[in-house]
Structure 1
Amino acid sequence: MKHSHLYIILAIFLLTTACSPKKGPYAVTNKVYSEQADAFAQTLLQTEPVVLTDSLGRKLASEWVGTVNFNLRKPNYVVIHYTAQDSAAQTLKTFTIAKTQVSAHYVIGGDGRIYHMLNDYLRAWHGGSGKWGNGTDVNSSSIGIELDNNGRSPFSDAQINSLIILLAHLKKTYNIPTANFIGHQDLAPTRKVDPGKYFPWKKLAEKGFGYWSNDVLELAPEGFDVATALRLIGYDTSNLNAAISAFKNHFIQADSSPVLSQLDLNVLYNVYQKY
């Protein structure tokens, strides 16, 4: 049957993107989600060849020949945020209103409950114009996870436990490298501060989600190039002070000033060698 392979993949895709709850407070938004997913599926079924013209306006010969070797794109990064709102319910509302233009794949409540809001293969709007390494469209390569936290208090044990279990699932499912678990401030150092100074990056690193400095630190060499080290880790150093503050919020968490003490330099030297 024509397109049989593609129809099978799309059928699986639609089954996984369809939200299971059909009733309740989000019945309307779940319906909109299913409709939008179906529209994307129809786009994938289009088999019209690309139409191109040369400098004289002459149409180039082209035809569609479908390959049998393909699959869905997969995420390669996980970006962790805090919601900066007062409750998970408030965040769910924010992410189900079109005018906010913001979303995430997962929201984790303070009680540890996980809200799966978008299929992992689809592109959420959580990273904005952030940059990490050479990637200037982080949304297209990442999964966004929002933690219900206002930024002024520690995260609950239940919340972090659920996060660690979810991260283990994502890492295994998509073969996400250890280095590719980052925070919102890491990729947007001039605009964001989340997940903030209370986030337990060391605990996550011990579980294999991101790196952390060793207990015994080697002294950073004389003339150690801070900007190069930060850039090799992934930071956008076009604003060096912001990049330093973001690094300190993630890997040191004692203060977020753009001034590096000797200990800070040692930590940076140790961390960058892991990348």
Structure 2
Amino acid sequence: MKNRLLLLLVAATTITACSKKVTNPHTKTNSVYTTQADSLSKILLAENPATLTDSLNQPIPSEFIGTVNFNLRKPNYVIIHYTAQDSVAQTVRTFTLVKPQVSAHYVISKDGKVIHMLNDYMRAWHAGVSKWGSISDMNSCSIGIELDNKGNEPFAPAQINSLLILLAKLKKDYNIPTANFIGHGDIAPGRKPDPGILFPWETLAKKGFGYYSDMIIVPAPANFDSATALRLIGYDTSNLPAAIGAFKRHFVQRESSNTLTQFDLDVLFNVYKKY
């Protein structure tokens, strides 16, 4: 009996010792995340009244009285990217270094693993200089999802399956409208092409994440204004050729160019009527 207890004790000690050797390689960056989140929490909890002065530099009376009617600002868009890097590990490293100044809420690997890197209510730095409709700060109202893909390869089925499941959760959690699932290239035409011409937008649309053209397309009328249609969908048409290229990568996906064929015009007419 004593020998048995001794063996159990040795085994338990060995397991404990081994478990201590297993370390999280992201402990340091997780600690930085926690520190920065704590700093933001302190800002949210601050009860400092606005400090105001009039034209004579005299203080204007002010005080802080907390309302009971509020909540967190929720994301209203989902922006899909490809990483254009060699591996998930490289992307995670990029997002855990200060110098690149880029991040995303989620990274999805080719095998379907989902890495959550930032609370959904926080502002990631994924959109950059971008515009959609009247919104010029997409980072403030969107969730960024990065897919492990170099941009010149098909997306893995396991990866897309995980993406669809994640999108379903986000749509339900935040009541995100169907039209508001778009790509980085849509909001930054001429600057970014991702998620690219190979991304399965039609598959997403069938699940309720974004729009896509119908199988049967009604021809566009002779007086159809393509520039206005692109603008009403959301594209920034200040650089019209770039907006056309972005539209074609998303909704036509036959070839990447900045000119509209008759077929492209018909697709544009079909899609524009959905918005």
TM-score by length of 2: 0.91
1:20-169 alignment, distance < 5 Å? 23-169=23-169
Superposition CA RMSD, Å: 0.9
Cα drift, residue 23 of structure 1: 4.2
Matched, 1:229 2:232: no
SS of 1:107's equivalent in the other structure is strand
Tell me how far apart the structure 2 counterparts of residues 59 and 272 of structure 1 sit (CA, whole Å).
52
Cα drift, residue 55 of structure 1: 1.5
Larger Rg: 2
Tell me how far apart the structure 2 counterparts of residues 23 and 209 of structure 1 sit (CA, whole Å).
38
Q: Which residue identity lines up with residue 196 of structure 1 in the other structure? A: G
Q: State the Cα deviation string for residues 32-70 of structure 1 (Å, max 9, x = none).
A: 000110010011111010011111212111111100111
Q: Which residue of 1 aligns with 2:261?
A: 261
Q: Which residue of 2 aligns with 1:19?
A: none
Cα drift, residue 127 of structure 1: 0.1
Tell me how far apart the structure 1 counterparts of residues 210 and 88 of structure 2 sit (CA, whole Å).
25
SS of 1:215's equivalent in the other structure is coil
Cα drift, residue 113 of structure 1: 0.2
Structure 1 unaligned spans of 5+: 1-21
Cα drift, residue 167 of structure 1: 0.1
Q: State the Cα deviation string for residues 179-214 of structure 1 (Å, max 9, x = none).
A: 000000000001001000110000000000000111
Identity of matched residues, %: 66
Matched, 1:204 2:204: yes
Tell me how far apart the structure 1 counterparts of residues 177 and 119 of structure 2 sit (CA, whole Å).
20
Q: Which residue identity lines up with residue 197 of structure 1 in the other structure? A: I
Q: Which residue of 2 aligns with 1:12?
A: none
SS of 2:99's equivalent in the other structure is helix
Q: Which residue of 2 aligns with 1:189?
A: 189
Tell me how far apart the structure 2 counterparts of residues 135 and 169 of structure 1 sit (CA, whole Å).
24
Structure 2 unaligned spans of 5+: 1-21
More divergent stretch after superposition (192-201 vs 51-60): 51-60
TM-score by length of 1: 0.91
Cα drift, residue 215 of structure 1: 1.1
Q: Which residue identity lines up with residue 45 of structure 2 in the other structure? A: L
SS of 1:214's equivalent in the other structure is coil
Tell me how far apart the structure 2 counterparts of residues 135 and 120 of structure 1 sit (CA, whole Å).
19
Q: State the Cα deviation string for residues 210-264 of structure 1 (Å, max 9, x = none).
A: 0011111111111211111000000000000000000000000001211111111
The count of corresponding residues between Structure 1 and Structure 2 is 254
SS of 1:99's equivalent in the other structure is coil
Tell me how far apart the structure 2 counterparts of residues 152 and 269 of structure 1 sit (CA, whole Å).
28
Tell me how far apart the structure 2 counterparts of residues 227 and 52 of structure 1 sit (CA, whole Å).
45
Q: State the Cα deviation string for residues 161-181 of structure 1 (Å, max 9, x = none).
A: 000000000000000000000
Tell me how far apart the structure 1 counterparts of residues 31 and 87 of structure 2 sit (CA, whole Å).
24
